[in-house]
Amino acid sequence: MYDTILVPTDGSDHAARAAEHALTLAEWFDATVHAISVVDTNAASGMLSSGSIRREFMSQLEDGAERAVETIETMADDSSAVQTAVLRGKPKKKILAYATDIDAELIVMGTHGRSGVSRFVAGSVTEHVVRRAEIPVLTVQANERTESADGYDEILVPTDGSDAAGAAVDHGLEVARAADARVHAVTVLDTGDMAASPTLRPPTEVMKQLETERQNATDEIAARAREDGLAATSAVLEGQPELELLEYIDDHEIDLVVMGTHGRSGIDRLLLGSTTERLLRHASAPILAVTPSEEDDD
Write out the chain's pLDDT in tens, 298 residues. 899 999 999 998 999 999 999 999 999 999 999 999 999 877 666 555 667 777 788 888 899 999 999 999 999 988 888 999 999 999 999 999 999 999 999 999 998 755 433 344 445 788 889 888 999 999 999 898 898 778 999 999 999 877 777 889 999 999 999 999 999 999 998 866 555 455 555 667 777 888 898 899 999 999 999 999 999 999 999 888 889 999 999 999 999 999 988 654 433 333 445 788 788 888 999 999 998 765 554 4
Residue 8: the pLDDT is: 96
180 φ/ψ sector (left φ>0, alpha ψ -120 to 50, else beta): left
Total Cβ atoms within 10 A of residue 121: 30
The H or E element that residue 157 is part of is: strand 154-158
Q: Where in the chain is the domain with CATH 3.40.50.620?
A: 4-140, 154-290
Candidate CATH numbers 3.40.50.10320, 3.40.50.620, 3.30.360.10, 3.50.40.10; the one for domain 154-290: 3.40.50.620
Specify the pLDDT at position 119: 41
> What is residue 45's predicted lDDT score, i.e. its pLDDT?
64
Predicted pLDDT of residue 87 = 95
Q: How far apart are CA 60 and CA 44, in angstroms?
A: 11
| Helix or strand holding residue 215 (H, E) | helix 204-227
Residue 113 confidence (pLDDT): 59
The order of strands in the sheet holding 232-238 is 82-89, 32-40, 4-8, 106-110, 137-140, 287-290, 256-260, 154-158, 182-189, 232-238
Pick the CATH number of 4-140 from 3.40.190.10, 3.40.50.620, 3.50.50.60, 2.60.420.10: 3.40.50.620
What pLDDT does residue 260 have? 87
Element holding 33 (H helix, E strand): strand 32-40
Helix, strand and coil content of the chain, in percent to the nearest 5, comes to 45, 20, 35
